Amino acid sequence: MSLNKVKSVCSYCGTGCQLTLGVKDNKVLTTVYDENQGFHNGQLCTRGRFGYQFVNSDKRLATPLIRRNGKLEPASWDEALTAVAEGLKSAEASGSDAVAGLITPRLTNEELYLVRKLYKDVLGSENFDHSAGYAHSALSAGAFESLGFAASPSTVTDIQKSDLILVVKTDAYETHPVLGFEINLGVKRNGVDLRIISDKKGKLSRLPKAKTYVYKPGNEVFLVNALAKAIVDNNLVDATATGIAGLEDCKKSLESYTPVQAAEVCGIPAEEIVALATDYAKADKALIILPLGLGYPGHDKALAQALINLALVAGKIGKEGSGVLIMGEKNNSQGAVDMGIYPAGKGKGASAIIDACSAGTIKALYVIGENPVVSYPNRKKITDALDKVGFLVVQDLFLTETAEKANVVLPACSFAEKEGTFTSVGRIVQHVQKAIKPVGQSRSDFDILNGLSGLLGGATFSDPGKVFAEIAGAVNGYAGLSYDKLGQEGALIPVTTRPKFVPAPARQSTAEAGKYALVTGSALYHCGTMSRFGEGPMHVCPEGYAELSREDAAALKIEENDLVKVASAGAEIQLKAKISMRMPKGVVFAPYHFNEQSINTITDGNPVTWVAIRK
């Protein structure tokens, strides 16, 4: 039997790469190269090309589980869904604040919409969030307040049409590798002037004529404000900015961010800050790129608004090849924001939900696809909070570290076993096609949520297309879209900017004597914690590490692959040392994806954690 080829969309990062799955005997055996597929001409990163094996993993959950006498045991779907419905009802009786949810942005738009309906319409709760609450705030709070919509004003096609690209963090290549390819092509084919502001160097820094401005970690907002201040002081404010509300207040807010002050705080010479600001302002077309993610707590509302202010003051929003491209971490991070999977009104965000779990006021917590034990900062706080929840439900593909604590575990399908839509960082809504039958007794999140809603007296839908029709009538930007007419290329969600300047106060990260600045982020081959179940990513990057400079390694007498102890207040872990030329003195980097010796054991959710390092 030959391979059955099914076109779909990658389920790792938010780039929205199209891929073709090669299927045989109800298993995904490969991805098939198709040079005519997607804006990326079929090119995929390591995750997209070789990370599909998690779909076939023998670690997949194959049956519902219910905790009996302290042990998770197999159960039927009827038993499991009835237990979940009764547990949520019981908690709801204590008040709407007693029920909460932590939801992955890996779900389809239709599934995310069902989540929102379940909580708001059925459970009467607005306590739901995703990505720890901060890894989407650049969109849901920053862009929304500054531009009038919670999405990027730019698209992926702007990358190669730009004259100058300003990237925040060299990690943009690690978080969204195919967009790194696009930057590469823009530089090498079109002569794009690439500038990077980062706390370390990286792959983007190696591109021809690229210039990296390495600042002291945690001071991103201060630096961006200083760039805007230099534009103001050098009379480079674009004429379009004068008609935008809040300009004068913004100018006043920038008074304490002079390049001279920024040089002292950020460690970049004042003249380089002025030169970068001048080049950015004078470029005909200039694009800012900001990656988001659970490994980047500093990439938040304030940073997004500082960058949007910079783009507005230089007249760079609303024109081709310009603007700001805010890149959500997961395959449907943009869709999760579009579907409103974050708190509104009196609803609790992820941080407040965890605090309420610790206080015992959250009686039931429904976790869908998130793995906060590993991926959220301050692991002890998370585990202690989950241990205090009276009724914990986890819906996932695997028995994750979070699922191991649950009262009920519901086995979910992978992207290859369901249909629906994802929305990319470039605001393209694309079809996800079902390629294989569900593994074991797993069900799609759509079927699980639909069934649960029915048990609780809520609305049910016959198929994802019916949900999409409701989305098209209810969600801003989706009006006029048709599920059956998205086609292979998908459809662009239009945006209309209503910009205003919003002052962005800068935090300052002050060094602690004798300590190293620990910054976290993504490893090139991984995305969240799901890639741990893919053979490809785990083959090239099987574990966490602590990456430090040659100078620091020499001073500490540390060699490559030595086990080193990394300690913050009250916690310590052991990691293998990785020594590189890209790290500045006094800074150490660690990826956040791994459970064993989890870096989030010692982080607290701040952009920088000050740590001691020893052999």
Express each pLDDT in 7-22 by its tens digit: 999 999 999 999 999 9
Position 454 pLDDT exceeds 70 = yes
Q: What dotted CATH number matches 4-56?
A: 2.20.25.90
pLDDT band at residue 176 under the 50/70/90 scheme: very high
Instruction: Give residue 503's pLDDT.
Output: 97
Nearest to 311 by CA among 182, 494, 168, 133: 168
* DSSP, residue by residue, 359-426: HT---EEEEEB--HHHHSS-HHHHHHHHHT-SEEEEEESB--TTGGG-SEEEEB--GGG--EEEE-TT
Instruction: Give residue 460's pLDDT.
Output: 96
Instruction: Give residue 1's pLDDT.
Output: 57
Position 564 pLDDT exceeds 60 = yes
Sequence spans of domains, the chain: 4-56, 65-128+344-492, 137-327, 516-614
- Torsions phi, psi for 380 (to 5 deg): -60, -40
What is the Cα–Cα distance from 344 to 228, expressed in whole angstroms?
31
SS3 per residue for 169-180? CCCHHHHCHHHH
**Residues forming a β-bridge with 394:** 367, 409
Position 120 pLDDT exceeds 80 = yes
Instruction: Give residue 87's pLDDT.
Output: 97
Instruction: Give residue 431's pLDDT.
Output: 96
Position 499 pLDDT exceeds 60 = yes
Choices 3.90.870.10, 3.90.1150.10, 3.40.50.740, 3.40.190.10: CATH for 65-128+344-492: 3.40.50.740
What mean pLDDT comes out for the span 464-483?
96
Instruction: Give residue 36's pLDDT.
Output: 85
- Torsions phi, psi for 415 (to 5 deg): -60, -25
Query: Which of 23-37, 54-68, 100-114, 587-601 is predicted least confidently?
Result: 23-37
Position 466 pLDDT exceeds 80 = yes
pLDDT tens for 157-167 read: 999 999 999 99
Instruction: Give residue 8's pLDDT.
Output: 95
Nearest to 526 by CA among 48, 180, 83: 48
What mean pLDDT comes out for the span 336-350?
95
Superfamily of domain 137-327 in the CATH hierarchy: Dimethylsulfoxide Reductase, domain 2 (3.40.228.10)
What mean pLDDT comes out for the span 267-296?
98
What mean pLDDT comes out for the span 129-141?
97
Q: What dotted CATH number matches 516-614?
A: 2.40.40.20
What mean pLDDT comes out for the span 497-515?
92
Instruction: Give residue 405's pLDDT.
Output: 98
pTM above 0.85, yes or no: yes
Query: Which of 39-43, 376-380, 479-483 is predicted least confidently?
Result: 39-43
Amino acid at 516: Y
Q: Are 590 and 598 in contact (CB under 8 A)?
A: no
Query: What is the chain's Cα-based Rg?
Result: 24
Instruction: Give residue 537's pLDDT.
Output: 92
pLDDT band at residue 457 under the 50/70/90 scheme: very high
What is the rounded average pLDDT for all residues in the chain? 96
